Amino acid sequence: MTARSYLYVPGDQPDKLAKAVGRGADAIIVDLEDAVAFTSKATARRITCEWLSTQAEAGPEIWVRINNHEDLMADDINAVVGEGLTGLYIPKADGPDAIDTVAQLVSAAAAHQDPGI
């Protein structure tokens, strides 16, 4: 299915995340980038990771908008790669090298996950 509607939700707002699935959007984009203050990035990752682990497969697509800064990007990817995630939204990608970096970080994160997941 092609998503026709997208609902952006800040990753550090558990009350909004809890309501997001029932809002009727075809896809939810959990924002870890611009919608989250720098001082709340770690909290947003934790909340988003916990929320993703509770999502059923039959719901809307779930994407996570990661940070473009390399240090934050790696932390974001390590926190969210796993069950419940449809894909990553890469903001402000400045060329193919950015995509390659994300692909390498996703591969590394997936390799370190519990094989029982």
* Entry pTM: 0.89
- Residue 116 falls inside a structural domain: no
- Residue 41 falls inside a structural domain: yes
User: For residue 114, is pLDDT > 80?
Assistant: no
Q: What is d(CA 42, CA 32) in angstroms, rounded to the nearest whole number? A: 9
Domain that holds residue 67: 6-111
* pLDDT tens profile 75-106: 999 999 988 899 999 998 888 998 999 999 99
Total domains in the fold of the chain: 1
- Residue 55 falls inside a structural domain: yes
Q: Other CB atoms closer than 10 Å to residue 19's CB: what's the count? A: 12
Which CATH number goes with the domain that contains 35?
A: 3.20.20.60
